[in-house]
A = this chain, B = another copy of it.
Amino acid sequence: MRETWVIGAASNRFGKMRETGREAATEVALAAIESAGIEPRQIGYTFVANAFGVAEHQAHVGPLINTGLGIPEVPSCTIESACSSSSAALHEAFVHVSGGFTDAALVVGSEKLSHLDTLAATSYFACGADYPFETKNGATFPGLYATLASTSQPAYATRPEMFGAIAVKNHANGARNPHAHFQKPISMETYLASPMIASPLRLYDCCPFSDGAAALVVAAKEATPSPAREPLVIRASARAGSIAGMHDRPDMLGLPATRAAAEIAYRQAKMTPRDIQFAEVHDCFTIAEALALEDLGFFPRGTGAKESFDGTTARDGRFPVNPSGGLKAKGHPVSATGAGQVVEIFEQFNGLAGARAVPHAEIALAHNVGATGGSCSVHIFSRR
């Protein structure tokens, strides 16, 4: 298996895109290729992540992007794994490149739903759940994650301020990130005064609907020994699944797919959670960040939210989490989210993170969840 790197990365500002999903995808793909210092013709395979292109009347986006890049002959496919689509696409790129099937692959995630009304957009999002058992009966993601929160909260006496601390921290980070959908800090008072969406989750516990696009160039070390930027060495690329419908799971105090993917990832990387210096985790809701920190082994069960409240996961804390602002503040453009997490790590490693730079950026982890955890990807990156 060949040593495989992320040698280029680019993102637009998440939020509301005027351009179409394919246009944004092509733009960030070109920017990622340029950041890698290579030519489009060096790309051997294009993996697009795009869950809801039909909302723009557009499936089969790969050939359109490749045509825009001037490499129409390059094969492509679209990868969908709900909110973990672009980390699943990264995994395919990793397999192709590390397995020697191609020297360089493009990963580009893009999603646009802002032209739809909220009900229509929610309906697309909800396609990630288990339709006949969840969506059809009125469950949407705020409700499903609220179920996780209301299971965890009494079990561990998590106070509202502990969830709030996650939101406040991620907004503080997002305020320093030019890619972020929300670039304004919020106070605990603002959090606590925000309306209840699905008890115990308030408005500021929930990530926004965002448009966005993010791209990565994945290449074999031996094929690109001198990339233009400091590459991310992919030390682990792991994926796992779990029972899709939340009602059938034996345990609601975490996401089994996260635990399974993390176990594989740590084994692949020959690391433990203690080796990781910062992490981008999937905080579609504040409870999701709390559970992720526990499932990934960073903190004991039941303490994920408390550690945020104690400041441990702040940008300048002992273990920074979501220095980008996370899904909560940076935004959550479904199929661009996972790639966007890796863009953040790429920028941190390359001294491009500006005011949101974390103190120690040598080894980082990205954690991306599909829906309520039917799928999960965990990637671990280090410097050369």
Contact = CB atoms under 8 A, between A and B. Distances in A.
A82 B54 contact: no
Contacts of A274: none
Nearest to A88: B77
Interface in A81-122: 81-82, 85, 88, 91-92, 95-96, 98-101
A254 interface: no
Given A82-B59, A370-B60, A243 B127 contact: no
Nearest to A264: B75
A57 to B, nearest CB: 5
Contact of A79 (B56, B78, B241, B256): B78
Given A57-B135, A73-B256, A81-B77, A62 B127 contact: no
Contact of A62 (B100, B243, B375): B375
A72 interface: yes
A186 interface: no
A63 B242 contact: yes
Q: How many copies does the complex hold?
A: 2
Contacts of A241: 62-63, 66, 72-76
A202 B257 CA distance: 51
A60 B72 contact: no
A127 to B, nearest CB: 4
Interface in A238-270: 239-245, 248, 256-257, 260-261
A67 interface: yes
Contacts of A95: 92, 95-96, 99, 101
A198 interface: no
Interface of A: 1, 20, 51-54, 56-60, 62-64, 66-67, 72-82, 85, 88, 91-92, 95-96, 98-101, 123-124, 126-132, 135-136, 239-245, 248, 256-257, 260-261, 370-371, 374-375
Q: How would you classify the secondary structure of chain A's contact residues: helix, strand, loop or mixed?
A: mixed
Contact of A260 (B73, B79, B135, B371): B73
Looking at A53, A76, A126, A244, the one whose CB has the most chain B CB atoms below 10 A away is A244
A145 to B, nearest CB: 15
A243 B59 contact: no
Given A75-B241, A88-B77, A53 B127 contact: yes
Nearest to A130: B64
Contacts of A257: 73
